[in-house]
Amino acid sequence: MNNPRGQKLKAAATRIKGGVVRRAIRWSQTQPEWAQVGPPHPRPTPVVEQALRLSPAMLHDPTPSPALTAELAWQTPSDPPSSQELFRLDGEMLPCWQESDVGLYDDWLINPTYYPYYDAFFQQVSKPDGPTRLLEIGVRTGYIAAIFARAARGRTMYVGVDPNVYLRNGLDLASATLQRLRSELNTNEFALIEGFSWDVDVQKTLAYSGPFDLIHIDGDHTLLGKLIDLELARRLLAPGGLVLVDDYSYHPPISDAIRRSLALGWYHEFALIPTMRGLAVLR
Ligand SMILES: C[S@@+](CC[C@H](N)C(=O)[O-])C[C@H]1O[C@@H](n2cnc3c(N)ncnc32)[C@H](O)[C@@H]1O
């Protein structure tokens, strides 16, 4: 375009376009949800890459360990409390209870073989003379955190990590739940970390705070995410501690990750608690 009027128009259009883009970027930076989005994908460490490269011929369905199974002495509770009872305190539902969660997917919230089984399991594996230290990867609103605080026989320490990706206020609700229980029971301490379990700084924070007697893995449900958490958990586990992995019988990537972690010797023993989605126990 050679005429000066046309060039001016072109320059003005470029300025307007640049201004709109700059304003859109500035606006996006003021939106809290944008600020919270981390890098889109976790990066596998060399040891996790090794697990991903294992050929199918090297992977086997794990056989439950007789020693671990006997030690857990799992007994199906004969008259378990309902989920509603477990999450009610002084006639009120704890803040973790979200009515909108009732009826989700397979109705995990009120299934009699889900939280009521965790309740029985924590009663069994907690130390009567405490403290029992639980790390949970994937907190949501704190359902497991609440069950653990109430079921454990002695004092407890709960550490939870969650980036608040499913629910923006998940950790607020978990915090309110655990504070409410702490003022009532006076036996549970806790710390909540907002972040991804694959974040190096989060992993360092956990290493400074560990080791843990129990680690419940229930965060990222992809094969890569699960492998990262299984590899992290073995480094954070106290001697004789147990790693618990939810959804073993429900999400194929989870049993796949467990097979790989056993093939590489990250864990040596496997047992299965028959919750509705299968709770794998490793050590
Ligand atoms: C199935 S929910 C956890 C439910 C919880 N364990 C309970 O039953 O009380 C999964 C949670 O994992 C979180 N999450 C997803 N990716 C994660 C990661 N890389 N690290 C930690 N948490 C993660 C989600 O934000 C979500 O709150």
User: Residue 36: what pLDDT?
Assistant: 46
Residues 6 or more apart whose CB falls under 8 angstroms from that of 95 comprise 141, 142, 173, 176, 177, 180
Residues 6 or more apart whose CB falls under 8 angstroms from that of 84 comprise 93, 110
Question: Bridge-partner residues for 233, per DSSP?
Answer: none
Long-range contacts for 46-50 (Cβ within 8 Å, ≥24 apart)? 47/231, 47/264, 48/224, 48/227, 48/228, 48/231, 50/264
Q: Is the CB of 157 under 6 A from ligand 1?
A: no
Better pLDDT: 167 or 9? 167
Q: Is the CB of 166 under 6 A from ligand 1?
A: yes
For 13-30, what is the mean pLDDT?
A: 63
Q: Is the CB of 247 under 6 A from ligand 1?
A: no
Q: Is the CB of 137 under 6 A from ligand 1?
A: yes
- Hey, is 7 helix, strand or coil? helix
| pLDDT tens digit sequence for 39-50 | 557 899 999 999
How far apart CA 190 and CA 171 sit, in angstroms, is 12
Q: Is the CB of 241 under 6 A from ligand 1?
A: no
Per-residue pLDDT for 55 more than 70?
yes
Residue having the nearest C-alpha atom to atom 2 of ligand 1:
140
Mutate to test the pocket of ligand 1, among 98, 144, 218, 243 (most ligand atoms within 8 A of CB): 218
Whether this prediction's pTM lies above 0.85 is answered by yes
| pLDDT tens digit sequence for 231-278 | 999 999 999 999 999 999 999 999 999 999 999 999 999 999 999 999
User: Residue 18: what pLDDT?
Assistant: 66
Backbone angles phi, psi at 232, to 5 degrees: -65, -45
Dihedral angle, C-alpha 43, 208, 190, 199, nearest 10 °: -10
| pLDDT tens digit sequence for 128-138 | 998 999 999 99
DSSP notation for 52-118: HH--GGG--PPPPPHHHHHHHT----SSPPPHHHHTEETTEE-TT--GGGTTSTTTGGG-TTSHHHH
